[in-house]
Structure 1
Amino acid sequence: MDLSALPPDRAAPPGRERAAFGTALRLAREARGLTLRELAQTTALRRDYLQALEDSQPLEDGQLGGLPEATFARAYLRTYARELGLDPAPLLAEFDRLARPGPGQLPRA
């Protein structure tokens, strides 16, 4: 999936655009007529984590708000993408780019 082809997310506050992987997940879910509750049941992932993946916004410290440790968040992202029939590789690549700590910051443990 080419994340650059996604439309800008109008639901995010100005200057705080959602991560493209979150927009891709939301658009794919909506296109299939699925709710977060339905996906939480089929994936066995918490609804609030699914919502956090869709709403992900890069924070100043390299973290993505509302998500657990990066190892778990990556696994949730992969599961969610596969459930929607998306290739998880480009979504994970963007996740890794956004979750990487900035210069002078320690990596998240």
Structure 2
Amino acid sequence: MKELGEWLRRQREGKGISRTELQELTKISLNYIVAIEEGHFEALPQGGYKRAFLRTYARGLGLDPDSVMARYCEIAAEDRLEASPRESTDRRGKAGPRRLVRTLLAVYNGTMEWLGM
């Protein structure tokens, strides 16, 4: 996401618009403008607000909001693909202790059955 934020910042600077001016134009909090330009999209409110802020930011700079959103969705999809293998490894790692407990219980039950208890 950092590359999208940097690209948006370069667009703003290229048009000679300060962050404060963009804040006045868009009514987006300065903290959120900084978060967008630094690629910290997780700092934005969740749900539709994130998309609304990106669209409003784009309009404030005279950019096509649909193009900016397409770029955001493309980068977000790539980020999810990169994060996906790590998540599946984590899930397999958590299954190990459960499997061990089940195996130990099976051995215990088998031993008790064999001893006739």
TM-score when scaled to structure 1?
Answer: 0.62
Q: 3-state DSSP class of the match of 1:65?
A: helix
Deviant stretches of 4+, over 6 Å: none
Match of 2:56 in 1: 79
Structure 1 stretches of 5 or more lacking a match? 1-16, 58-63
Match of 1:31 in 2: 14
Whole-angstrom CA distance in 2 between matches of 1:65 and 1:49: 10
TM-score when scaled to structure 2?
Answer: 0.58
Whole-angstrom CA distance in 1 between matches of 2:33 and 2:18: 10
Q: How does 1:48-63 map to 2 (within 5 A)?
A: 48-57=31-40
Higher relative contact order (CA 8 A, sep 6+): 1
Structure 1 residue identity aligned to 2:37: E
Match of 1:3 in 2: none
CA RMSD of aligned residues (A): 2.4
Query: What is the aligned length?
Result: 82
**1:45 positional shift:** 0.8
- Between the aligned residues of both structures, percent identity stands at 35
Whole-angstrom CA distance in 1 between matches of 2:72 and 2:47: 9
Q: Larger Rg: 1 or 2?
A: 2
